[in-house]
Amino acid sequence: MKTVGVFDSGVGGLSVLRALLAELPGTRFVYAADSAYAPYGERTAQDVSQRTERITALLRERHGIDALVVACNTATAHAINELRQHHPDLPIIGVEPALKPAAALSRNGHIGVLATRGTLGSARVAALRDRLVEASPRPLHFSFQPCDGLAGAIERHDLPTIQNLSERYVQALQQADAAIDTVVLGCTHYPFVQDQLAALCGADVTLVDTGVAVARRTREVLATLPATGSSNTADEAPLLLSSGPPEALAQAAQRWLGLGVSASPLFD
């Protein structure tokens, strides 16, 4: 049985864990939420890199993970290259805004991207956008909208603030480009408010996130690893760890994934 670490700045990565649980039954998951430092999108690249390295080392040393899913767009953008250099023997799967799938889905090439300021300001995302624009046989128009505070509101399950910020940022996207027909959810927190965002965007706009694609990629990576230990035919509940209040993570896992499990402190 393989053990996969799943890491996010907070509870948003549970949207990726949800897809992983559906794609990889019989796999052991250790979910680490750095909620005491969430959201990463409003922190410096150096802070994000240092936190990512510390938690990866902990997951390896204490939980013996066979692979790591960095279920955070900001951590992927700012830290994954350095992380792979420090851990060359560990398969690491990252997430990034689904610009390429959105470009394929869009009918008119006008795409909006909702994400944290840290993600949208990264060189990695800018390079991805530029490659797609240059390679596309038709014009592509990407409108980036930073969503300051939205991930934090989702982290706190602050419903009034979630609604207010969602309205503000969707309206800003529509003002930037009224022709947008596809919107990328560029933060793993955002799928948990997809219904609100879809209602604000309108029925003609397609919303895209990365959870299923990341889960499929993780399955492909695990298939290349040598078999170790005994097989497991029963699904094992994920181990939930948080640097913030563990009960908040457990409540989020119950609310969004239907997992009736407790959570423990990430650090002693």
Q: Is the separation of the CB atoms in 18 and 42 below 8 Å?
A: no
CA distance 147 to 125: 16
Amino acid letter, residue 5: G
Other beta carbons within 10 Å of 233:
7
Asked if 91 contacts 225 with a C-beta cutoff of 8 angstroms, the reply is: yes
144 touches 117 (CB < 8 A) = no
- Strand order, beta sheet including 206-208: 141-146, 110-115, 182-185, 206-208
Nearest CA-CA partner of 52 in 30, 78, 29:
78
Helix (H, G, I), strand (E, B) or coil at 125: helix
The span from the CA of 101 to the CA of 208, in Å, is 8
Residue 189's contacts (CB-CB under 8 Å, 6 or more residues apart) are: 10, 11, 12, 15, 39, 150, 151, 154, 155
CA proximity to 20, closest of 32, 35, 2, 4: 4
Residues 65, 72, 184, 241: which is the catalytic one?
A: 72
Q: Which of 24, 187, 214, 259 is catalytic?
A: 187
CB 246 within 8 A of CB 240: yes
Q: Is 201 a catalytic residue?
A: no
Active site residues: 72, 187
